[in-house]
Amino acid sequence: MGYRIRFIPSSTVYHVGGATLQRGNPFKTFLNFRNNLLLLYKNLPARGQGRIMLFRKILDTISAFRFLFQGAFKDFWAVIRAHLAFYEMKSSYKGIKNRNKSPENNVIVSGIYPGSIVLDFFLKGKRKFSDLEFKKRS
C-alpha cells in the first residue's frame, strides 16, 4: 500500500490484552470471534484453508449454542454477528491476503500449529501455548 513502517527498538509496549472490555461483554465476544476469523483468513495458506475455516465454523457454532444454552443470549448473537461481519469484511482482505508472507517483505513464516488450540485446551487440558507440541512444517 506504499506505507513506510518505522520502529524504535528501545521502546517498550505494554499490551493490556482483553482487559479493556470485561469478560462476558458481548462486544468483546463479537470482536474475539470476528478478529480471529479475519486473522485465519488473512494468514492461512491457500492449501487447506477451506478445511480449517470449515472446522472453525463448526467450533464457533458449538460455542454459539453453548452461549445460548447458558442463557447468554447476547453472546450467542455476538457470534452470529461476528460471522456476518467477517463475510462483509472478507472481500476487502483479498488484496492483502498473505502479503506478509512474501520474501521481499523479509518475513518468514516458520510453521503453523498442526492441531487445534481450542481442542487441546478443552480436551487435553493444555493451558499454555508452551505446553503444546509444535512441529515445523518442512
- Model confidence pLDDT, tens digit, residues 46-78: 888 889 899 999 999 999 999 999 999 999 999
Phi (first) and psi of residue 98, to 5 degrees? 65, 10
SS3 state of residue 31: helix
- % of the chain residues with pLDDT over 70: 78
**Smallest Cα–Cα separation from 89: which of 49, 27, 36?**
36
SS3 state of residue 36: helix
Q: Hey, how many other C-beta atoms are within 10 angstroms of the C-beta on 126? A: 16
